[in-house]
Structure 1
Amino acid sequence: MKIGPIGVWPPVVLAPMAGITNAPFRVLCREQGAGLFVCEMITTRALVERNPKTLRMIRFADAEKPRSIQLYGVDPETVGRAVKMIAAEDLADHVDLNFGCPVPKVTRRGGGSALPYKRNLLRRILRAAVRNAGPLPVTMKMRKGIDDEHLTYLEAGRIAVEEGVAAIALHARTAKQHYGGTADWAAIKRLKEAVPEIPVLGNGDIWSADDALRMVAETGCDGVVVGRGCLGRPWLFRDLENAFNGDPARCRPSLGEVAEVMVRHAEGLVACFDTERYAVADFRKHVSWYLKGFTVGSGLRRELTTAESLEQLRAAAARLERGQPWPPNTDTPRGKSGERQRVHLPEGWLDDPWDCVVPDDAESDISGG
């Protein structure tokens, strides 16, 4: 698969996930298998204003090539400035634009999965990004639409092709679905048929390498985007590489091997964040994902999820039953799920799909990502 000048094999992309896909986690995933590994979502205003938190979030490990940044923005001028900064200062090799985030703090400003409803605003943002990217390929990730009554993905796909976007990823759910229900893989097939000129990547309900192969076979998509399926499971990328190369081998680490990766993950976060207590606290959300399906006593789990230092975490991990084999039937959903009652949107957002008005507070977030 080619994304602009970048060759990607296997055709696998790590989905940007807030608070998850920082450099330490990307390193663990990249060690397991090849592909394209994207950093956490970055707000464009925070980047152009050189917010210290944001600049830390776009740090890449020395071995990370190609380097991929995902941007979130609503104002075309600010998006253009952010992409120009990335290209001019060699901050990344690839820029992805987020039009898929369903969380209220993003959609209520007209961003993320709310934005493609405004067709002309979407066009202006894509044009500004592509024109300022120089040699860097620009891609976009989106959802089917706001809800079943406001589907936007086919029109957005055609606009992307017309504006020079190098590839499109579709999470086959609406914003209202959030992470609930079942991903509509048929929508991925319809999008690929609508935009045969560029690669289309499918996203949604890939819990195993075999799911990825099935998605490609059923939809004709050019590659897959993996998000929640790799939570606590970076070796899924080894499975994916094997699968796309025709190798039936699948990685099934013992609990001891999992424990070693857990400790390395926490150590990487400490090196990244520079504050041990904060880094270990940040790691604790990963514990239940790493231990999914394993038999671990409640007391030991509690120690792992309340550790405040690397020493405490290492001591607890050392007491895990090292020889316990990989549990069966764990190729199942991970992470958040559930549908939203409604999508939070700016007032009057649905009145006119063609206006280009940027909400007053659209670029007010300078918190980083």
Structure 2
Amino acid sequence: MKIGPIEVWPPVVLAPMAGITNAPFRTLCREQGGGLYVSEMITTRALVERNAKTMAMIRFGPAERPRSVQLYGVDPGVVGRAAEIVAGEGLADHIDLNFGCPVPKVTRRGGGSALPYKRDLLRRIVRAAVAGAGALPVTMKMRKGIDDDHLTYLDAGRIAAEEGLSAVALHGRTAVQHYGGTADWDAIARLKDAVPEIPVLGNGDIWTAEDALRMMARTGCDGVVVGRGCLGRPWLFRDLDHAFRGSAERARPALGEVAATMARHAGLLVECFGSETHGVLDFRKHVGWYLKGFPLGAETRRELATATTLAGLRERLAALPAGLPWPGEAADGPRGKSTARERVLLPDGWLDDPRDAAVPADAELATSGG
């Protein structure tokens, strides 16, 4: 698969996930296999204003090539300027645009998965990003729409192709579904039929390498985007690498290998943040994902999830029964949040006119990370 001049093999992309896909996690995943590994969501306003936290988040390791950054923005002028900065200062090799985030603080400003409903505004943003990025390839990730009564993915895909995007990724859920229910892979197939001139990537319910192969066979998509399936399981990218090369080999790490990866992940976070307290606290959310399916008691999990020092965390990890085998299907299944929402928070009057290209007041977020 090619995204602009970038060869991506296997055709696998790590989905941008706020608070997850920072440099330490990308490092762990990238070591397992090939693909494209995208940063956390970076807000364009914060980048243009040189917000210190945001600038620190645009941090790639020396071995990270190509470097991919995801930008979120609602104002075409700000998005275009942010793309100019990324390209002009050599901050990344690829820009992805976020039109898929379903969280309320984003959609209520008209951003993320709410924005493609405004077709003309979407076109202005995409056009500005492509112009600002110059030679860098620009892609976008989106959802089917706001809800089943307001589907936007086919129009958005055509706009992407017409305005020069190098690829488009579709999560087969609406914003109101959030992460509930089942992803609609048939929508991915319809998008591929609608925009055959650019690569289409599918996203949603890829928990195993076999799921990725099934999605591509069923939809005809050019590649897959993996999000929640790799939480606490960076070796999923090893499985994907093997699967796309025709190998039946799969990673089945015993608890000792899992614990060693957990300790390394925590250490990388401490190094990245320059603070032991920050790094260990940030790691806590990963504990349940790493240990999913292993027959460990609640007290053991609680102790690991409440560690306050790196030494304390490593000591508790070393005490785990290293020989416990990989729990199989119990660990391979869904992970992360899976509930739907009752409604999507939107700006007042957002659904009145899909051709209104005005930028909502206070649309741009001042900080990055979703």
Smaller-chain TM-score bracket: over 0.9
Aligned-partner Cα distance in 2 for 1:368–1:225: 21
Residue of structure 1 equivalent to 2:71: 71
- How do residues 1-369 of structure 1 correspond to structure 2 at under 5 angstroms? 1-329=1-329, 330-363=331-364, 365-369=365-369
CA RMSD, Structure 1 to Structure 2 (Å): 0.6
Aligned-partner Cα distance in 2 for 1:126–1:308: 44
- Counterpart code for 2:349: G
* TM-superposed deviation, 1:328: 2.0
* TM-superposed deviation, 1:148: 0.1
> Given the two structures, how large is their TM-score scaled by the length of structure 2?
0.99
Residue segments in structure 2 that go unaligned for 5+ positions in a row: none
Aligned-partner Cα distance in 2 for 1:347–1:281: 37
Aligned-partner Cα distance in 1 for 2:43–2:276: 26
Aligned-partner Cα distance in 1 for 2:64–2:203: 23
* TM-superposed deviation, 1:298: 2.3
Q: Residue 31 of structure 2: SS of its match in structure 1?
A: helix
Aligned-partner Cα distance in 2 for 1:275–1:303: 21
- Counterpart code for 2:271: A
Residue segments in structure 1 that go unaligned for 5+ positions in a row: none
Aligned-partner Cα distance in 1 for 2:328–2:283: 25
- Counterpart code for 1:308: T
* TM-superposed deviation, 1:135: 0.9
* TM-superposed deviation, 1:331: 1.8
Q: Residue 299 of structure 2: SS of its match in structure 1?
A: helix
Q: Residue 237 of structure 2: SS of its match in structure 1?
A: helix
Q: 228-237 vs 301-310, which deviates more?
A: 301-310
* TM-superposed deviation, 1:366: 1.3
* TM-superposed deviation, 1:341: 0.3
- Counterpart code for 1:335: G
* TM-superposed deviation, 1:134: 1.1
Aligned-partner Cα distance in 2 for 1:350–1:79: 23
Aligned-partner Cα distance in 2 for 1:108–1:299: 39
Deviations 1:178-233, CA, capped at 9 Å, x for gaps: 00000000000000000000000000000000000000000000000000000000
* TM-superposed deviation, 1:300: 1.9
Aligned-partner Cα distance in 2 for 1:302–1:181: 29
- Counterpart code for 1:18: A
Deviations 1:338-360, CA, capped at 9 Å, x for gaps: 11000000000000000111111
Aligned-partner Cα distance in 2 for 1:230–1:167: 22
Q: Residue 40 of structure 1: SS of its match in structure 2?
A: strand
* TM-superposed deviation, 1:299: 2.2
- Counterpart code for 2:362: D
Q: 326-335 vs 117-126, which deviates more?
A: 326-335
> Given the two structures, how large is their TM-score scaled by the length of structure 1?
0.99
Q: 257-266 vs 291-300, which deviates more?
A: 291-300
Runs of 4+ in structure 1 off by over 4 angstroms are none
* TM-superposed deviation, 1:296: 1.5
* TM-superposed deviation, 1:76: 0.1
Give the length in aligned residue pairs: 368
Aligned-partner Cα distance in 2 for 1:183–1:301: 30
Q: Residue 332 of structure 2: SS of its match in structure 1?
A: coil
Q: Residue 277 of structure 1: SS of its match in structure 2?
A: helix
* TM-superposed deviation, 1:297: 2.3
Q: Residue 32 of structure 1: SS of its match in structure 2?
A: coil
Aligned-partner Cα distance in 1 for 2:114–2:328: 39
